[in-house]
Amino acid sequence: MTSRTPSDHSVNDSGSAGLHGADGPAPRGPQTVAYVAVTALGGIGAVVVATVEMVSPEAGTFDVLLWSALAVLLLAAAARRWWFGASGEDRSRRIASELGAGEVAEAVQASSGEVDAVRRLRVAHPGLGLRDAVELVRRHSGDGRTVEGRGSGGG
């Protein structure tokens, strides 16, 4: 199995540089939008409370610092999720799409079961997500189930 680095994949199939090329950033899912909205609202609420504490005559320095720190953390978490949230998923999907059937077959044959095959793939290809690795192994094994379809088979 070969080792791959992010620099090996700086140009996509269409020849343009970057993860998304000229198409711009990947669309954000409803879970990401909801998380960012709720977290940002919490951060804004903390800013409001910190401001009220600051103008209050009986305000303590500790209270103002605490609410300010909470506001900064919440707003930073929202910003991080908005700009960087999907990059790990994109990388994992890209690695999964580039893996050849031979590499998956090799991992499955050398393993003692599905869990070991998934572990081998993820060790050999850092950045490959658990969900994508499980789907690759199951697809190779002829089991048509996907990770989401786990509970639908009864059992």
Whether the Cβ atoms of residue 54 and residue 64 lie closer than 8 Å to each other: yes
Q: Which residues, including other chains, have CB under 8 Å from residue 127's CB and lie 6 or more apart?
A: 6, 88, 91, 92, 95
- Considering Cα of 143, then 145, then 150, then 155, what sign does the dihedral take? negative
Average confidence score pLDDT of the chain = 75
In this prediction the pTM is 0.48
pLDDT digits (tens, 9 = 90+) for 47-86: 999 999 999 888 888 989 999 999 999 999 999 888 887 6
Query: 103: how many CB neighbours lie within 10 A of its CB?
Result: 18
The 8-class DSSP code of residue 113 comes to: S
* Torsion angles phi and psi, residue 3, rounded to 5: -90, 140
